[in-house]
Structure 1
Amino acid sequence: MGGNTNNVWLADDVDVDVHDFSHAAHRLLSETSDLPTDPTQVAVRPAELLPSWDEDWLMLAREQLRQLWMHALEASARRLLDAGMIPQAIDQLLVVVAEEPLRESAQALLIEAYLREGNMCEARRQLASFARQLWTVLRVRPSRDLCERVGGELNVERLR
């Protein structure tokens, strides 16, 4: 070992949950992977990386895992939508929206899912809720493209 006491080594047969999660997420992000056989497994948020540690470098590593999880859920939901599995896609997207309500990519995909199932009311309700949150927190409106998907511009001030 050369006397370096700053390194920790794990035996090859030790499973590391972060590695397992990362591999599963990357499989979901791969366009060639199959649809998840159990989409509920994907929806489970990864455990916080080294929760009792308070190191600066961990903030970035934790955020990278959180972003990877949300990207994997969105990619999986998109493929579920494309396969006509709309309820399963909606379930996954609701998890992302609950984690990050201002994430427009997830909101847009959720609205698309409602539209694909022919549920304009749910699509408009979701857009209105998103618009209220965006306006309250950031004083911005949803993108014009997103508003046009459900029939035009929203008057955010009227939604309060």
Structure 2
Amino acid sequence: MTPTAERVLAFLALARRPVRRHQLAGTLWPDVTDRQALTRLRSTLWKVPAPQRAALVEADATNVSLHRDAGVDLYALDDDVPADDDGMVDAPMPRGELLPGWCDDWVLVERERHRQLRLHALEDRCARACGAGRFADALRAGLEAVAQEPLRESAHRRVIEVHLAEGNSAEALTQYQTFRGLLRAELGLPPSPAIRALVRPLLGRPAD
């Protein structure tokens, strides 16, 4: 598969729907005329070996799309992962960013969407596992969310909640103080009332 063909397939996969030929060609080859862009699109598609092309792409005179039977792992990550009876999700969650090194606008938008969904999924997994008393699993998910985005307060709150549920007050305070220091150093902001309220009973005074 040539790099250009990879870009065509990536665009079609992220579009999740049939794309008009003019739109696809104009997006991938914006620096040439429409006719030249369409010619390049046709050439790129036909350079894909026929068996692969038949399994990956559907095209007519107007639209191009990913084949309806082609599997895209990203789509599975968009679905809600069902929990078992204990509220724990056993399926591993892939790490890393979407299409690393690609700087196209159409990639950046999808990359941020995927990042946000993954962070929410990690926080949700943390809360479910904590509610089921599976604290190690909860911490694993919560700390992964913190590592992904250290300034994300909701991730720190989840980790603090796990420590409190375990009765580890010192750990909860350490997590809060780490976040407070990071937030002050990076943004010059105080923690929100929501996270301060979590640790206030531990301090016996208002949390700053």
Q: What is the aligned partner in structure 2 of residue 81 from structure 1?
A: 130
> Deviation at 1:60?
1.3
> Deviation at 1:22?
1.7
Task: Give the 5 Å matches for 1:8-157.
Answer: 8-12=65-69, 14-23=70-79, 26-27=80-81, 33-34=83-84, 35-38=87-90, 41-42=92-93, 44-45=94-95, 47-51=96-100, 53-150=102-199, 151=203, 152-154=206-208
The 3-state SS of whatever aligns with 1:7 is strand
Q: Is the 8 A contact 2:81 2:89 kept in 1?
A: no
> Deviation at 1:3?
2.3
More strand by share: 2
The 1:19–1:139 alpha-carbon spacing in structure 2 relative to 1, beyond 3 Å, is same
Distance 2:106 2:177 in 1: 38
Bigger radius of gyration among the two = 2
Of 49-58 and 62-71, deviating more is 49-58
Q: Under a length normalisation based on structure 1, what TM-score does the superposition of the two structures give?
A: 0.79
Cα offsets for 1:39-97 (capped at 9, x unmatched): 6x03x32x533345432122111111111111111111111111111111011100000
Letter in 1 for 2:121: A
- In structure 2, runs of 5+ residues without a counterpart are 1-58
> Deviation at 1:114?
0.5
RMSD between aligned alpha carbons?
2.0
The 1:145–1:21 alpha-carbon spacing in structure 2 relative to 1, beyond 3 Å, is closer
The 3-state SS of whatever aligns with 1:27 is coil
| Higher relative contact order (Cα pairs below 8 Å, separated by 6+ residues) | 1
The 1:50–1:10 alpha-carbon spacing in structure 2 relative to 1, beyond 3 Å, is farther
Q: Under a length normalisation based on structure 2, what TM-score does the superposition of the two structures give?
A: 0.62
Q: What is the aligned partner in structure 2 of residue 7 from structure 1?
A: 64
Distance 1:97 1:52 in 2: 23
Cα offsets for 1:77-127 (capped at 9, x unmatched): 111111111111011100000010111111111101101111111111110
Distance 1:147 1:37 in 2: 29
The 1:66–1:7 alpha-carbon spacing in structure 2 relative to 1, beyond 3 Å, is same
